[in-house]
Structure 1
Amino acid sequence: MTNEARYWGESSNLASLNNQEDTQDDHMIALVLSQEYAKLDCAVGRRLSNLASIRHVPRINSFIPNTSDASMDHHRLLQRLNTYGLCEVKISGDGNCQFRALSDQLFKSPEHHKNVRKEIVKQLKDHQSLYECYVPMKYKQYCKKMAKSGEWGDHVTLQAASDKFAAKICLLTSFKNNCFIEIMPLYQAPKRELWLSFWSEVHYNSLYDIRDTPIPRKSRRKHWLF
């Protein structure tokens, strides 16, 4: 083996080890945060306790509203947030907003969205019989699509998230006739509540009581736990 080949081989092995360490660090951070924030914060729930929720039916994204409808929907959502004294933590609109919003509710940071997506896709794959009836395409193709960063989450992935994280997921929506949707785990009691705002078929944000809105983080730093 030449010195050059030996150098590139050693560099490749070092990069692989670094990637493994980063992945382990990410999982450890997610685990610690999940344990820290597992206790329910019911402030938002108390604000919306008088709202009647509708039955959730998992479905994939079927349409995107036109500009006029989207503008009206957004205005309606903002009015509802103001009415109930709620505030959104703005989530990046990069196609990962559902997973980022869930990450913010689970870990108080949207930056764990890749791990959240990975866990949801694993739930979809491991329990195909629970979800395939809601997917009007080849199920393996759907799971493969959902595994890609930037692929929009839908109401099927929300149900899978509810089941995976044993969470009641509550959506304050911009739907004209459906203000509030609850998504419950199928076969277990919920251990936490996750609150999202849903600008219908366009965007998800993380939802808080206006008095409890967290201070935005400028960047993720792995050493901040210590």
Structure 2
Amino acid sequence: MTDNHGNRSASSSSSLNSSSHDTEDDHTIAAILAEDERLRHDGKLGKRLSHLDSIPHTPRVIGDIPDPNDATLDHERLAERLTTYGLAEMQMEGDGNCQFRAISDQLFQSPDYHKYVRKEVVKQLKRHKRLYESYVPMKYKHYLKKMKRLGEWGDHVTLQAAADRFEAKICLVTSFRDTCYIEILPKDKSPLRELWLSFWSEVHYNSLYQAGEVPTRTQRKKHWLF
């Protein structure tokens, strides 16, 4: 009985700590969002790629993971493109949350608010089912349940939902052989900000900056070392 009581106490303490941390996160996020000018991109990255044509974006779920040889070639192609356009990656942790971490880094100057980003994206998907359901090849409620889970990989449907929720143009520099650059625009709204991400096809997302201007972030776990 003593052990069970101790477990309950530890669990209660853990829940309180988690709740307190979430509240602190909410306050920080609210403060950042209140300073809207800090969220508006100055267009420097956009000017570098303004001559590129973006293909129409079609939301889709994750495709087949490439085999190691193809993945290596894809990564080399992406690295060459980033070098060509004077861009550099802020490496995100490879824990399944990389898309949400990269969006968080672009929005809030920190990848640590990825839980908030995921929560808001799932809310968007749930509230506006008609916008996204046709792109999901499974029962929609199962898709929503899956996307709520930490560590579940984001896809191009969640990217569209993020663009809609945060009124952002998401600029994606990709490793695709025939598609260097994709713009994901919010539906029926003018974007208020630009978010720059790299996409190593079906493997990983990172946050993009001008070469030489990648901020220093404290990383608490291992990340992709590619």
What is the TM-score with the length of structure 1 in the denominator? Answer: 0.89
Equivalent in the alignment of 1:128: 129
Q: Does the alignment pair 1:216 with 2:213?
A: no
CA distance in 2, matches of 1:151, 1:77: 23
Inter-CA distance 7–107: structure 2 relative to 1 (3 Å threshold): same
Aligned equivalent of 2:72: 71
Per the TM alignment, residue 120 of structure 1 is displaced from its structure 2 partner at its CA by 0.4
**Runs of 5+ consecutive residues of structure 2 not aligned to the other structure:** 221-226
Partner of 1:179: 180
Q: 1:7 to 1:216 in 2, by over 3 A?
A: closer
**Shift in CA distance, 10/151, structure 1 to aligned 2, threshold 3 Å:** closer
Distance 1:10 1:88, change over 3 A: closer
Q: Percent identity?
A: 56
Q: Aligned pair count?
A: 219
Instruction: Write out aligned runs for 1:2-17 (5 A).
Output: 16-17=15-16
SS of equivalent residue, structure 1 residue 151: coil
**1:49-64 residue pairs with structure 2 within 5 A?**
49-64=50-65
> In the TM superposition, what whole-angstrom CA distance separates every residue of 1:39-87 from its partner, at most 9, and x where no partner exists?
2231111111111111000000121111111111100000001100100
Q: 1 CA distance for matches of 2:62 and 2:5?
A: 50
Distance 2:68 2:34 in 1: 41
Distance 2:74 2:33 in 1: 33
Q: Give the partner amino acid of 2:103.
A: L
CA distance in 2, matches of 1:195, 1:144: 27
Amino acid in structure 1 at the alignment position of 2:33: S
Partners of 2:41 and 2:131 lie apart in 1 by: 27
Question: Could you tell me how far apart the structure 1 residues matched to 2:7 and 2:87 are?
Answer: 54
Could you tell me which amino acid in structure 1 is paired with residue 71 of structure 2?
Answer: A
Where does 1:1-226 land on structure 2 (aligned, <5 Å)? 16-36=15-35, 37-218=38-219
How far, CA to CA, are the matches of 1:6 and 1:210 in structure 2?
A: 54
Using the TM superposition, give the Cα deviation of residue 11 of structure 1 relative to its aligned residue in structure 2, in angstroms. 7.4
Structure 1, unpaired ranges of 5+:
220-226
Structure 1 residue 215: deviation in Å? 1.8
Aligned position for 1:223: none
Q: Would the aligned equivalents of 2:40 and 2:194 in 1 still touch at CA under 8 Å?
A: no
- Secondary structure class of the residue paired with 1:212: coil
Q: What's the C-alpha RMSD, in Å, of the aligned pairs?
A: 2.3
How far apart are the structure 2 equivalents of 1:5 and 1:80? 57
Residue type at the aligned position of 2:130: S
Q: Which moved more, 1:44-53 or 1:20-29?
A: 20-29
> Residue 114 of structure 1: CA displacement?
0.8
Aligned CA distance change for structure 1 residues 7 and 52 (closer, same or farther; 3 Å) = closer
Distance in structure 2 (CA, Å) of the matches to 1:218 and 1:184:
30
Task: Write out per-residue CA displacement over residues 154-188 of structure 1, whole angstroms, 9 at most, x where no aligned residue.
Answer: 00000000000000000000101100000000021
Equivalent-residue separation in structure 2 for 1:16 and 1:216 (angstroms): 27
Aligned-partner SS, 2:55: coil
| Deviation at residue 15 of structure 1 after TM alignment | 5.4
